[in-house]
Structure 1
Amino acid sequence: MNDHRKLGRELEIFDTDPLMGAGLPYWLPDGAEIRHALEEYVRELERRAGYRHVYSPVLGKRELYEISGHWSHYNQDMYPPMEVGGEQVLLRPSLCPHHALIYRSRAHSYRELPLRMAELGGMFRLELSGVLGGLNRVRSIQLNDAHIFCTVDQAAEEAHAALALIRKAHKDMGIEGARYRLSLPGPGGKYVDNPEMWQRSTALLREILEASGLEYEACEGEAAFYGPKIDVQVYDSAGREFSLSTVQVDFHQPEQFDLHYIGADGAKHRPVMVHRSVIGSIERVVSHLIEVHGGAFPAWLAPVQVAVLPLTDAEVPHAQAVIERCIALGLRAELHAPERGSLGARIRAARLVPYQAIVGAKEAAGNGLALRLRDGQRLDARPVEQVLAEVCDQIGRRD
């Protein structure tokens, strides 16, 4: 069983320090490389799907979260207000109120819809100390979030497309065994009191799941305070289930922020707000990937993609030239010089690297490269440019 809390530290992906505080891990260089790769991947995935990216502040006035409903329904999970210039300011618990304000800042026509707004942004949750651990439950979260402002008639298609993006991302990351949960409200006062709204949004999500041919389980008490959601569930190494990705339909916040668009009839109409996160929080998805792959990440995610191993000091100049060429091609490469030990020891040390490039006297003299793959397979030496072009192609395909 791979426990990311132990393995992630052994692999030098992340760590913690009491002076930074519980639930506030920091990323080491290899972890930062994984994070960058995920962020670049999901931004490009969203860009190709018609999303536009924004940046918004991690702070907001208390009034903002009173309007959104977070303060009355969710304040126990929020950090306390800070007094700034006679006003109360809070660390945001989610990005959706900020995106609602960005939408509201401009007039919109029905011709612009659906308007897909995405952000990789920070948010903060006041998690209890007892549930914190590693990257899975943290207090500072970097979320892959997006909000689609659309007409009622467009909402089902947009949610369906979001589910397709989630399935593609999971496939590319090597995540299997996901199941779908329709998260519904339960008893108690933590949910917005609007039965008609809940009925509409729940019916819409059921329609989306059934039209997608996805088996799902309805579960009461797991909805967001403003609406039901489709949670994509996965399991950690201990068999515990958690939500990784989500799709939500929200009629509440467009009403709260008085959002509208001008329809074909020239009148104002209320948009629907579809919330969706393809890979969830960076922290949680990396914790899961560590456990799924045991540190042997898919080549496109690996912190080091090519380890270059010269046999002797005489081949180091050629090895360094290979490193420089890898970097110019956008590959993450690292030199494993002879002073690190015997070739066998260096191969074992680089066992999690997808491509090991062995450089001997023959390769140095002929400007060649011989690859050793992570599974132990050895390939014949060929010209450097040809080998690296094939590596780039394989990584680009995310095979």
Structure 2
Amino acid sequence: MHDHRKLGRELGLFDTDPLIGAGLPYWLPAGAAIRHSLEEYVRREERRAGYRHVYSPVLGKRELYELSGHWAHYREDMFPPLEMGEQPGDDELVLRPSLCPHHAVMFRSRARSYRELPLRMAELGGMYRSERSGVLGGLTRVRSIQLNDAHIFCTVEQVAEEARGALELIRRAHRALGIEAVRYRLSLAGEGAKYVADPELWERSAELLVQALDGLGIGYERAAGEAAFYGPKIDVQVVDNAGREFTLSTVQVDFHQPARFDLHYTGPDGAKHRPVMVHRSIIGSVERAVALLIEQHGGAFPAWLAPVQLVVLPVSEEELPAAGAVLARARELDLRVELVEPRDGSLAARIREHRLVPYQAVLGAKEAADEAMAVRLRDGRRLPPLPVERVLAELGAVVAEQRAELWQG
């Protein structure tokens, strides 16, 4: 059983330090490469699905979160405000606990027409949760979160279709990443002041989410007390190697914040109409997604995610010039490649040391003379010497297409 906390440190992916603080991991080069590849994959899939990407600040005035409802319903999970003046009434800034208030403000930054809807706004943005020290652990429970978030502003008639499209995007991403959902949960409101008091809003939102689930034939379980404070949501649940279940991906319907921010668009009748916000996240927090991938793959990541995709192993010092040329060409093709020199150990020892790298290219005297290399695959297979350009082109195709780690020959 793999533990991402242990593997992450052994493989030099991430770490923490008391001087930085608990729940605030830093990413080392190898982990940053995985994170970057995952983020770029998500952005590309979102662009293909019609999303437009934005950036917004991680801070906002307390007034912003009072308006959104976070201050009243979510304050215990937020960091204390930062005092920006010496007098009462001076601005107080808050580290944001979510991105939706910023996106609502961005929607209302200019007049909108029904022709623009659905407007799909996406961001991989930072947010912060005031988690207690006792619940922090590795990458799965942190205080600084990079969230794959998006908000779809649409008409009521478009909600079910947009929620269905978000679910399809989530399922496609899970297949590409090798993630298997254990169940889909329809998370509903519970008792108490944690939730916005509007029974009609909750019922209407839940009905739209059920339409999306039924439209795809997805079975689900209802769970009271698991909703967001402003509305119900579909939670896609996964299980880590320790058997702990957690939410990775979500789709939510929100009538509350559009009303709070007085969002509107001009309809075909020339009148103002209120949009609905569909919140959705394909992989949730990048930290939690990477933790799951570390444990699922045991550090042996698919080539497109691997921190090092190709390691070049010259047999002796004489092959170093040829190995350097391969290294340079691979980098030109935007591949993550490392050169491991003979002085670092015997060939067998170097192969063992880099056994988690998807592809190992061995260069002996004959390969160097023929501008070829003998490729060893991570599963133990060995290919006959092939031209350097052919090997790099095939590897580039594997990485670009995120296809399975199978050499096509």
TM-score greater than 0.5 by the shorter chain: yes
**TM-score, normalisation: structure 2:** 0.97
| In structure 1, C-alpha distance between the alignment counterparts of 2:57 and 2:332, rounded to whole Å | 34
Amino acid at match of 2:39: E
SS at match of 1:193: coil
SS at match of 2:74: helix
**TM-score, normalisation: structure 1:** 0.99
| Cα deviation code 1:352-378 (max 9, x no counterpart) | 111111111111001012111000100
| Matching residue of 1:372 | 376
Contact 1:126/1:139 (8 A) holds in 2: yes
Once the two structures are TM-superposed, the CA of residue 188 in structure 1 deviates from its matched residue by: 1.5
| Matching residue of 1:332 | 336
SS at match of 1:32: helix
Once the two structures are TM-superposed, the CA of residue 178 in structure 1 deviates from its matched residue by: 3.6
| Matching residue of 2:33 | 33
| In structure 1, C-alpha distance between the alignment counterparts of 2:369 and 2:181, rounded to whole Å | 49
| Cα deviation code 1:289-313 (max 9, x no counterpart) | 0000000111100000001111111
| Matching residue of 2:298 | 294
Once the two structures are TM-superposed, the CA of residue 340 in structure 1 deviates from its matched residue by: 1.3
| Matching residue of 2:65 | 65
| In structure 1, C-alpha distance between the alignment counterparts of 2:57 and 2:192, rounded to whole Å | 32
| Cα deviation code 1:140-193 (max 9, x no counterpart) | 000010000001111111111111111111111111244211111111110000
| In structure 2, C-alpha distance between the alignment counterparts of 1:361 and 1:106, rounded to whole Å | 66
Contact 2:181/2:236 (8 A) holds in 1: no
Equivalent position to 2:400, from 390, 396, 399: 396
State percent identity of aligned pairs. 71
Counting only pairs closer than 5 Å after superposition, residues 1-399 of structure 1 correspond to structure 2 as 1-85=1-85, 86-398=90-402, 399=404
| Cα deviation code 1:108-135 (max 9, x no counterpart) | 1000100000001000000011100100
| Cα deviation code 1:319-343 (max 9, x no counterpart) | 1111111111111001111111111
Once the two structures are TM-superposed, the CA of residue 231 in structure 1 deviates from its matched residue by: 0.6
| In structure 2, C-alpha distance between the alignment counterparts of 1:164 and 1:340, rounded to whole Å | 47
| In structure 1, C-alpha distance between the alignment counterparts of 2:188 and 2:245, rounded to whole Å | 17
Amino acid at match of 2:176: D
| In structure 2, C-alpha distance between the alignment counterparts of 1:179 and 1:361, rounded to whole Å | 55
SS at match of 1:43: helix
Contact 1:231/1:245 (8 A) holds in 2: yes
| In structure 2, C-alpha distance between the alignment counterparts of 1:126 and 1:101, rounded to whole Å | 24
Contact 2:54/2:121 (8 A) holds in 1: yes
The number of residues matched between the two structures is 399
Amino acid at match of 2:28: L
Amino acid at match of 2:109: S
Contact 1:174/1:298 (8 A) holds in 2: no
Once the two structures are TM-superposed, the CA of residue 393 in structure 1 deviates from its matched residue by: 1.1
Amino acid at match of 1:330: D
| In structure 1, C-alpha distance between the alignment counterparts of 2:239 and 2:341, rounded to whole Å | 39
| Matching residue of 2:407 | none
Contact 2:79/2:130 (8 A) holds in 1: yes
Once the two structures are TM-superposed, the CA of residue 396 in structure 1 deviates from its matched residue by: 2.0
Alignment RMSD (CA, Å): 0.8
SS at match of 2:313: strand
